[in-house]
């Protein structure tokens, strides 16, 4: 139960930061710095309890890599989606229910961007937070959080830069993305999680 609460809290603050810094008036071109840092601080704060996923794609990747119990997976995902939705509703309230224009991405490009960005994120997570070769390090939160920042700077204009189905739910609730497009995130993010778990096993063959 405590693990699920930590996943709820972390995802809540991640999606709250997305909404508050992206919806006008927000943090302008610094939004990716705020969003990546929100993930960083929550990974550092909650990693020792739940692993600090805050992202259904990360939970799937960590489960495939063998560092998340199958029985935890559905509860992690539920906690993450509820956290993302709760943050979306609070954002709308604090912004006085603003008029938000949903982006209209090129579907093919957005699918590639979500796949590529989520691959980077889950590849970094598996290597800095679950690999024997980096165990005991003090940089895992910085590496994970700043991966989201970097990919948001690089790919945010193409797909919105969710790289996370719980964030995708949040930006859909807030009106930043269209409900009809949520499959782009689900497909792109989960596919990337699978590929990065396979990549991790290939490059860390002795690391069971």
Q: Residue numbers of the site for its own copies (CB under 8 A)?
A: 2, 5-6, 9, 13, 16-17, 20-21, 25, 27-34, 37-38, 40-42, 44-49, 90, 93-94, 109, 112-113, 116, 120, 123-124, 127-128, 131, 133-134, 137-139, 141-143, 146-147, 149-150, 153-155, 157-158, 199, 202-205
Complex with its own copies: residue 6 or 77, whichever CB lies closer: 6
Structure tokens at 108: 């093919």
Residue 85 — left, alpha, or beta (φ > 0 → left; ψ -120 to 50 → alpha)? alpha
Q: What SS3 class is residue 138?
A: coil
Complex with its own copies: residue 85 or 155, whichever CB lies closer: 155
Complex with its own copies: residue 27 or 187, whichever CB lies closer: 27
Q: Is 153 exposed, middle or buried (0-12, 13-18, 19+ CB in 10 A)?
A: middle
Complex with its own copies: residue 103 or 204, whichever CB lies closer: 204
Report, in Å, the least distance between residue 143 CB and its own copies: 4
Residue 170's CB is within 10 A of a number of other CB atoms, namely 29
- Residue 203 CB partners (closer than 8 Å, separation 6+): none
Q: What is the number of alpha carbons within 13 Å of residue 128 lying toward its C-beta?
A: 24
Complex with its own copies: residue 131 or 187, whichever CB lies closer: 131
Report, in Å, the least distance between residue 7 CB and its own copies: 11
Q: What are the strands, taking DSSP E only, across the chain?
A: none
Report, in Å, the least distance between residue 113 CB and its own copies: 7
Report, in Å, the least distance between residue 189 CB and its own copies: 17
Report, in Å, the least distance between residue 8 CB and its own copies: 11
Complex with its own copies: residue 21 or 179, whichever CB lies closer: 21
DSSP character string of 1-48: -HHHHHHHHHHHHHHHHHHHHHSSSS-GGGHHHHHHHHHHHHHHHHHH
Report, in Å, the least distance between residue 183 CB and its own copies: 20
């Amino acid at each position: 139960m405590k693990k699920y609460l930590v996943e709820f809290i972390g995802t809540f603050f991640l999606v709250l930061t997305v909404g508050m810094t992206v919806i006008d008036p927000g943090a302008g071109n610094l939004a990716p710095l705020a969003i990546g840092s929100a993930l960083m601080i929550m990974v550092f704060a909650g990693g020792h309890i739940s692993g600090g996923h805050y992202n259904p794609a990360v939970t799937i990747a960590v489960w495939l890599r063998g560092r998340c119990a199958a029985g935890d997976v559905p509860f992690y995902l539920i906690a993450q989606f509820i956290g993302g939705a709760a943050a979306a509703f609070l954002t709308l309230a604090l912004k006085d229910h603003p008029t938000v224009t949903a982006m209209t991405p090129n579907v093919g490009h957005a699918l590639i961007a979500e796949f590529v960005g989520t691959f980077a994120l889950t590849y970094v997570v598996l290597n800095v937070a679950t690999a024997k070769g980096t165990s005991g390090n003090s940089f895992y939160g910085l590496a994970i959080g700043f991966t989201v920042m970097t990919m948001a700077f690089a790919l945010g204009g193409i797909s919105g830069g969710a790289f996370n189905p719980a964030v995708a739910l949040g930006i859909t609730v807030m009106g930043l993305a269209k409900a009809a497009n949520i499959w782009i995130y689900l497909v792109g993010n989960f596919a990337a999680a699978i590929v990065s778990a396979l990549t991790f096993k290939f490059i860390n063959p002795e690391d069971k």
